[in-house]
A and B are shown apart, each in its own frame.
Chain A
Amino acid sequence: MELPVINKASAEAPKGGCSAGSCGSTDDQMSHLPEHIRQKVFNHPCYSEEAHHYFARMHVAVAPACNIQCNYCNRKYDCANESRPGVVSEVLKPVQAVKKVLAVAATIPQMSVLGIAGPGDPLANPERTFETFRMLSEQAPDIKLCVSTNGLSLPEQVEELAKYNIDHVTITINCVDPDVGAQIYPWIFWRNKRIKGREAAEILIEQQQKGLEMLVAKGILVKVNSVMIPGVNDKHLEEVSKIVKAKGAFLHNVMPLISEAEHGTFYGLTGQRGPTNEELQALQDACEGDMNMMRHCRQCRADAVGLLGEDRGAEFTLDKIESMDIDYPEAMKMRAEVHAAINEELESKRLAREAKVQLVSIQGTKTKEGARPVLMAVATKGGGIINEHFGHAGEFLIYEASSSGVRFIGHRKTIPYCEGGDTCGDGESALDKTLRVLVGCEVVLCSKVGYEPWGPLEAAGIQPNGEHAMEPIEDAVTAVYEEMRVAGKLAPNPPEQQKVA
């Protein structure tokens, strides 16, 4: 699985400067990375906006125990209809987990990565976690292994982690200040005692930072997850980002707090709100100066299976995998072919894009005068093209067009208004919710948009556009931006959007 180095200059100058393919480009996060890191993550769907359309991942829930309490977590909650991080319907024994992984990898050859992420903390369950990793590294050496942790017992596990096929670890770091931490973590279990308050946060932070440093020293890639909690750590996360970047974390993923009251978490029951899409994006932008930011995280379940944004877990329940007969060595051959074909396609796309980046930059210099950036929303089912009906979209990808190019900003979830009922519980119509989700965007690109939402969209200052159906997203965004420039719509002050209730 060799990936040729086609952009040596940017590989050697991973940060700063404007080497081709890394500045204002249409490329995804991976082009910013040094070559040796890119080699490790190019087929990792969670790390690459592009790879996630082609490669699949799965999580196995083998680690139910936890050694800390977070105010956004409720250990009692588990519902089969629910989908959020940490939640899982079926906790597996290591042997069952391995059987499931082999079944999934044989059935979904695009699967490249297996993660253990809880519920609970994988490193608070070292026997179960490492037994699973050990068996997988022997039986399925073509699968990358990942682990997520709160970091409390990370330093003592780094040696063991390095023994298996694990080249990425995710640490959830929500703060570097114990006073902030005391508002997020009510207690930790440390050296056979329950420790509360600021002292608990102090120990946790120290262990997380130590673990991060040890992993980086071992050459294991570290991604940092942070949960953005308005009024608690939102201002503080810029500093977190700076520090973890300085210590060598290669990617930062700022995720929005999920705090619906019905989840029964401390934050849910005390009315702590999550950030708005705009607040999240502003913080991600603020952190980006220091760090590669992750923009396409779907905050998936701890037992998610398949491509990001779809969950095929129901096909692989315990009773179903029991009856599957898997010839893994045979499956491995098929997987290698599928992966090689995907790599070839990604590579040719990359080459085409690099050629185009030059063009966009040249256009950009011409239009720089007075051309302000514009946010556009895109309805897509994946594959990098505009191929989803406005009314069927469960989420929109947000792109920013500016004189320096087109960049992916993130995704925003909504309720497909064609399918949804009249309300989503609080009297808000599904279309109203979509309008609120799209606040800040001036254009929405989709394969088709009906008559009914057209008026409300325009009234909200969002131009519906179905003219670029089936076109590559970046091309369409560039074309629409150019149309706006020619029409004189890129004057420095954006038009006021009407308030959407």
Chain B
Amino acid sequence: MALEIIESCTSCWACEPLCPSKAIYEAKPHFLIDASKCTECAGDFEDPQCATICPIEGAILNEDGVPLNPPGSLTGITLQKLAA
């Protein structure tokens, strides 16, 4: 059970201090999650903290590879608008 940060991460530092299990670390070209430490915040918080503050849609995936903040969920900018 671990989350994953992918390449759309802008390394904004918002998630790193929030992680209760210190699983997030600064890396190049973007921040990473140590899968052996990540608990998805179970037992600490209701919502996984990294995904809850991350401003970039699609940057954090669950263990099935599904984005926790799918396109449009944070900015309200739909795919059609992005494509236009």
- Give me the interface of A with B, judged by CB distance under 8 Å: 64-67, 69, 71, 75-76, 78, 91, 120, 124-125, 127-128, 186-187, 189, 192-194, 266, 269-270
Contact = CB atoms under 8 A, between A and B. Distances in A.
B43 interface: no
A80 B65 CA distance: 33
B53 A194 contact: yes
A125 B74 contact: no
A78 B56 CA distance: 14
A306 to B, nearest CB: 26
Interface of B: 8, 10-14, 17-18, 45-47, 49, 52-53, 55-56, 74-77, 81-82, 84
B12 A64 contact: yes
A192 B52 contact: yes
A127 B74 contact: no
A76 B10 contact: yes
A91 B14 CA distance: 13
Given A64-B12, A69-B74, A69-B75, A189 B17 contact: no
Nearest to B15: A65
Contacts of B56: 75-76
B15 to A, nearest CB: 8
28 contacts: A65-B17, A66-B12, A67-B53, A69-B55, A71-B75, A75-B10, A75-B56, A76-B8, A76-B56, A78-B10, A91-B13, A120-B12, A120-B13, A124-B14, A125-B13, A128-B13, A186-B74, A186-B76, A187-B74, A192-B45, A192-B52, A194-B52, A194-B53, A266-B75, A269-B82, A269-B84, A270-B77, A270-B81
Contacts of B18: 192
Nearest to B55: A75
Given A67-B14, A69-B74, A69-B75, 16 more contacts: A65-B13, A65-B14, A65-B53, A66-B14, A75-B56, A76-B8, A78-B10, A120-B12, A125-B13, A186-B75, A189-B14, A192-B18, A192-B49, A266-B75, A269-B81, A269-B82
A2 B48 CA distance: 54
Nearest to A196: B74
A78 B12 CA distance: 12
Contacts of A189: 14, 52-53
B47 A127 contact: no
Contacts of A270: 77, 81
Nearest to A271: B81
A266 B77 contact: yes
A193 B47 contact: yes
Nearest to B82: A269
* Best-buried of B8, B10, B13 by chain A (most CB within 10 Å): B13
Contacts of A76: 8, 10, 56
A434 to B, nearest CB: 31
B7 to A, nearest CB: 12
A161 to B, nearest CB: 19
Contacts of A69: 55, 74-75
A258 B17 CA distance: 31
Contacts of A124: 14
Contacts of B53: 65, 67, 189, 194
B12 A65 contact: yes
A22 B1 CA distance: 66
Nearest to B47: A193
B14 A193 contact: no
Contacts of A65: 12-14, 17, 53
A69 B14 CA distance: 12
A128 B12 CA distance: 13
A269 B77 contact: yes
Nearest to A127: B17
A64 B13 contact: yes
B81 A75 contact: no
A367 B53 CA distance: 61
Nearest to A63: B13
Contacts of B10: 75-76, 78
A52 to B, nearest CB: 31
